[in-house]
Amino acid sequence: MDSHSSPSSKKVRSPGGSSGGSNNRGSGGQTVKFARRTSSGRYVSLSRDDIDVPDEISGDYMNYTVHIPPTPDNQPMDGSVAVKAEEQYVANSLFTGGFNSVTRAHLMDKVIESEVSHPQMAGAKGSACAMPACDGKVMKDERGVDVTPCACRFKICRDCYMDAQNGTGLCPGCKEPYKMGDDYDEVPDYSSGALPLPAPDDSKGNMSVMKRNQNGEFDHNRWLFETKGTYGYGNAFMPQDGGDERNEGIQGGVIETMDKEWKPLSRKTPVPAAILSPYRLLVAIRFVVLGFFLTWRLQHKNEDAVWLWFMSVTCELWFAFSWILDQIPKLCPVNRSTDLQALWDKFDMPSPTNPTGRSDLPGVDMFVSTADPDKEPPLVTANTILSILAVDYPVDKIACYISDDGGALLTFEAMAEACSFADLWVPFCRKHDIEPRNPESYFSVKGDPTKNKSRSDFVKDRRKIKREYDEFKVRINGLPDSIRRRSDAFNAREEMKMLKHMRESGADPMEPIKVQKATWMADGTHWPGAWAVPSRDHAKGDHAGILQVMLKPPSSDVLMGGADDKIIDFTDVDIRLPMFVYMSREKRQGYDHNKKAGAMNALVRCSAILSNGPFMLNLDCDHYIYNCKAVREGMCFMMDRGGEGICYIQFPQRFEGIDPSDRYANHNTVFFDGNMRALDGVQGPVYVGTGTMFRRFALYGFDPPNPDKGHKVGSEMQNLGPSDFDPHLDVNLLPKRFGNSTLLAESIPVAEFQARPLADHPAIKYGRRPGALRQPREPLDAATVAEAVSVISCWYEDKTEWGDRVGWIYGSVTEDVVTGYRMHNRGWHSVYCITKRDAFRGSAPINLTDRLHQVLRWATGSVEIFFSRNNAVLATRKLKFLQRLAYLNVGIYPFTSIFLVVYCFLPALSLLSGHFIVQTLNVAFLIYLLTISICLILLAILEVRWSGVGLEEWWRNEQFWLISGTSAHLAAVLQGLLKVIAGIEISFTLTSKSAGDENEEVYAELYLVKWTSLMIPPIVIGMMNILSIAVAFSRTVYSAIPEWSKFIGGAFFSFWVLAHLYPFAKGLMGRRGKTPTIVFVWSGLIAITLSLLWISINPPKGGTPATLNGGFIFP
């Protein structure tokens, strides 16, 4: 490769990493302490640095040396064996470290109780080392076959092999010297007429090892691409000098597929004018009519009840302002479509320069976050991970990361079990084209599973995989009890050891034994994370950073299965699994860990070190991939013309398990299919927290690229550094912004380059040349993983811009909206991707109380945004006007609750007082009211047409808008004002009032009634309107001169309020038939008594309490 063509995916790493920042890091870089932990949890060092130790602890150390593999320029041993040895050691090691502590690599021979077989997975079974007194496992290749570095086939583990290499250099079996590179010394045969490969430039050093793929074979495609070489007959070849002007950016004269017709990967389709034009016209008409109506209302006071008139006019003015903020950004809705076939033709189709069809797509790092296995069941999280591992995307370009913010062993072992089951599930999905690829959802789908399945062995395979999945669920469900029993057994053993020691030392036998109640891993060592019985350094908020590469990076070449490898025949099926990493960031007391935003930023840094995918997809642990091609759909936008200016792709949220009537508008389709689709026509949808594909470079806080500034695309393009994208960023101040990790800083321009679209069209001024991303991913080494441990430490973000400008933004419970706003404010665009088959699906709370608290959290975040510097009023000119209005509405909409609560009380006050909001129901008022209502109805119908939202869904959204506006939104405003003015934090707690039975149906949670203070305002509003109707009706009936017009006017608005509160009332009643009849009897008696009491206290004019139009006497 031309040295100026593109940055490699990772630079060749030396054992050194970042410098400074911790006591365990010297000037040479990140130090790794290779160690084994004894059953008591003490570390036995395997590092030469710890040979000279104090005498009192020297018994716990052994003179054992582990070397990190040397650089390709200095190869003392067979490169392929060295890479396999290091990679296997890294994959089988649990790395821990953090603030003021040593980074240790704990070799785990056993990760879970059950046996695992996949060669990529940590703790995979293998042959035992033949060296005496060694319990290590033999090195394995990608198929799990033993790797024997000597011709005598002597089985040896990685540690013993390196000892032999660094010692005598002789094989312990045959006593002969190890022969380097035997597999690559064959004499080439040119009898077929093939030309020899040109020798590499001497200035580039020894590249032979770097040109080998992970199978240890020589990568001819990469050699050709990087050395501009050719061989054989029939290859399309152009002279180096001269040539067509159109192909000046083509590497080495090799003709790419540029002669094909250029096709766009995505298309933007406007909403039909027959729908959009009337819609815009109605918006304008309603705007004008509202102006005339409000003017009329201000000019015509109700002299009999000025207080009622003033409250109503004030509320109506605010509602008009709120309607403008919500409606105006909806004027430019668009639809988008993608062309997956064009994406495959451009990036994955075999060509003369890519005969094997190795993908040129950029890498994607997928993030899943979880915090508490008690609230977020491990089985749900495991199913999400399985859907990610089975996604339809080049296997070697995918890396999956899970952040366990609780540091729970239960989550760790559940993820290990998921990796073990993925050995069967992922190839099964590829073989039979399974959708969805979440096993729980797949086996729960109602209908014929054989539909569109043509392979004769599908039924047999499905039956086998269903049995394996049932066993997998049983293992997951049994993990809590298994961990508890295992820990009890080991703790009892430790107590016996302590008791024996006390007896031998002559200590007082009556003295209580003090043994920590530790949580133990499957290999008989202490879990470094949070224990079931919290203790120092082992609590949820106080534990070391943990990193485990559970599935090591796969080979870049396809690895086909066989008939005898598994219980299912996977012949001609790729059995590779994507890279999977378990991460639990370090937590210490006294540090603000910033909840989910802090966990996501730790994932960003960790992934930048290990895989550095230029794109990142984040999912909640209960949101799984429902469409296996969703990543490709999003990549169509990122890799298309103009894609370099897109900061993220937002997919709509779809939910399962919602009741058929969607009582509390959980699907939220008006927002996801209406508002978000409309914003897509402006500057892009807001970020909603999950189901989002990010451009890593945009998340780093940089501005979008400006092609006019001369970043030339072609063979002369230079590798750009961070300062080239931000002129105000001094290279010397990189640690101030991103931290002191050198590898992290070096990964930034690499991620920026790899995220560019292909420069295969004259209009693409900011792209990369085809074929730049076909080289294999470099294998992991211990120093790299140790560096990743250091960047997830609790101290790493100190005095940096993480959370302020870089990554997820801190300071709000709705960090997602703020993070998206910051990107839009820098000039980036986002795209809304609605796929024919839902991209992702998740769960949502269908219980009324849980739903209200979910909305409370969102509204509280919006209030925080309003009172912060993230208020859209303070945005830059790069934020478009309509986008600014949309973000203003995000911060302002909770304040509508104040006026909404007042307006919901006005009908009741009107009925009780006998006055209306206007002095008389004249013709002008009725015409205005009728015109506004008709415009509202027509706008709703047209919005339903262009957004695809059902009319019932629209009505459910209107109902829940009033329910949440009179409860959660009001509480959020009060909470935000108290926080800003007095610094008081208020939290609303739940108190369970009734619980469902064990054997409930699917929607049992819908009928649970859990009391919360948020229910008070809607209950009061409903009671007041019901009683006021009863009182006004009684008064009108018994009055000498009934004024039915005032009663009907007030009653109409009261019924409007009660109709919106109907779902809330159903939620309070719980299950049908469970509410006693006496409750309704009592309610009726109370309403009648109160209405008659009001008549007695405030009798109509011309009557007395004793005689009311017919002689009725109040008792």
More confident residue, 141 or 374: 374
Name the 3-class secondary structure at 732.
helix
Over the stretch 146-190, which tens digit does the pLDDT of each residue have? Answer: 777 787 778 887 778 777 777 777 888 787 887 644 443 333 333
Residues 6+ apart with CB under 8 A from 489: none
Q: Which residue bears the tokens 């603000």?
A: 592
In this prediction, residue 918 has a pLDDT band, given cuts at 50, 70 and 90, of confident
- Residue 1101: its pLDDT value, please? 54
Contact 336, 269 (CB under 8 A): yes
Residues 6+ apart with CB under 8 A from 89: 66, 105, 107, 158, 159, 782
Kindly report the pTM of this predicted structure: 0.81
Residue type present at position 19? S
More confident residue, 854 or 234: 854
816 is catalytic: yes
Q: What is the DSSP letter of 363?
A: P
d(CA 960, CA 938): 21
Q: What is the mean pLDDT of the chain?
A: 79
- Residue 107: its pLDDT value, please? 78
In this prediction, residue 1096 has a pLDDT band, given cuts at 50, 70 and 90, of low
pLDDT at residue 948 above 80? yes
% residues pLDDT > 90 (the chain): 43
- Residue 360: its pLDDT value, please? 92
In this prediction, residue 255 has a pLDDT band, given cuts at 50, 70 and 90, of very low
Average pLDDT of span 530-538:
91
pLDDT at residue 251 above 50? no
More confident residue, 491 or 234: 491
Among 711, 701, 796, residue whose Cα is nearest residue 748: 701
Contact 842, 668 (CB under 8 A): no
Average pLDDT of span 711-735:
57
Which of 396-405, 413-422, 554-563, 1100-1109 shows the lowest mean pLDDT across its residues?
A: 1100-1109
- Residue 81: its pLDDT value, please? 64
pLDDT at residue 10 above 80? no
- Residue 1113: its pLDDT value, please? 38
- What would you measure as the largest C-alpha separation in the chain, in angstroms? 124
In this prediction, residue 236 has a pLDDT band, given cuts at 50, 70 and 90, of very low
Over the stretch 734-771, which tens digit does the pLDDT of each residue have? Answer: 788 899 998 999 899 899 999 999 888 887 878 888 88
- Residue 708: its pLDDT value, please? 64
pLDDT at residue 42 above 70? no
d(CA 541, CA 289): 57
More confident residue, 57 or 866: 866
CB atoms within 10 A of CB 635: 26
- Residue 1043: its pLDDT value, please? 72
- Residue 720: its pLDDT value, please? 57
- Among 78, 405, 423, 662, the active-site one is 405
- Residue 511: its pLDDT value, please? 73
Counting other chains too, the contacts that 567-575 makes at CB distance below 8 Å and 24 or more residues apart are 567/424, 567/464, 567/468, 568/424, 568/427, 568/428, 568/431, 568/461, 568/464, 568/465, 569/457, 569/461, 570/427, 570/431, 573/427, 573/430, 573/431, 574/395, 574/427, 574/430, 575/423, 575/426, 575/427
- Residue 182: its pLDDT value, please? 40
- Residue 683: its pLDDT value, please? 95
The answer for 1011, left when phi > 0, alpha when psi is -120 to 50, beta otherwise, is beta
Average pLDDT of span 963-973:
93
Average pLDDT of span 1026-1032:
87
Average pLDDT of span 965-992:
75
- Residue 991: its pLDDT value, please? 36
Q: Which residue bears the tokens 């929607």?
A: 1003
Among 556, 595, 834, 819, residue whose Cα is nearest residue 689: 819
Contact 588, 446 (CB under 8 A): no
Over the stretch 261-304, which tens digit does the pLDDT of each residue have? Answer: 788 999 998 899 999 999 999 999 999 999 999 999 999 888 88
pLDDT at residue 473 above 50? yes
- Residue 1069: its pLDDT value, please? 76
Average pLDDT of span 403-410:
94
Over the stretch 412-429, which tens digit does the pLDDT of each residue have? Answer: 999 999 999 999 999 999
- Residue 985: its pLDDT value, please? 66
- Among 219, 365, 816, 838, the active-site one is 816
345 is catalytic: no
Q: How far does Cα 456 stand from its chain's mean position?
A: 38
In this prediction, residue 393 has a pLDDT band, given cuts at 50, 70 and 90, of very high
Counting other chains too, the contacts that 474-479 makes at CB distance below 8 Å and 24 or more residues apart are 475/114, 475/417, 476/378, 476/379, 476/382, 476/414, 476/417, 477/379, 479/378, 479/410, 479/413, 479/414, 479/417
Average pLDDT of span 56-84:
42
* Helix-helix angle 815-825:848-866, to 10 degrees: 40
d(CA 24, CA 47): 14
Over the stretch 366-392, which tens digit does the pLDDT of each residue have? Answer: 999 999 998 899 999 999 999 999 999
Over the stretch 550-584, which tens digit does the pLDDT of each residue have? Answer: 999 998 888 888 887 788 999 899 999 999 999 99
d(CA 13, CA 35): 22
- Residue 188: its pLDDT value, please? 37
Residue type present at position 1038? Y
% residues pLDDT > 70 (the chain): 75
- Residue 1100: its pLDDT value, please? 53
Among 775, 780, 465, 575, residue whose Cα is nearest residue 119: 575
- Residue 206: its pLDDT value, please? 38
- Residue 609: its pLDDT value, please? 95
- Residue 700: its pLDDT value, please? 94
Over the stretch 1040-1092, which tens digit does the pLDDT of each residue have? Answer: 777 777 787 778 888 999 999 999 988 887 665 455 555 555 555 555 565 55
- Residue 1038: its pLDDT value, please? 79
Over the stretch 863-913, which tens digit does the pLDDT of each residue have? Answer: 999 999 999 999 999 999 999 999 999 999 999 999 999 999 998 888 888
Q: Using CB atoms within 10 Å of the CB of residue 656, give its burial: 0 to 12 exposed, 13 to 18 middle, 19+ buried.
A: middle
More confident residue, 936 or 254: 936
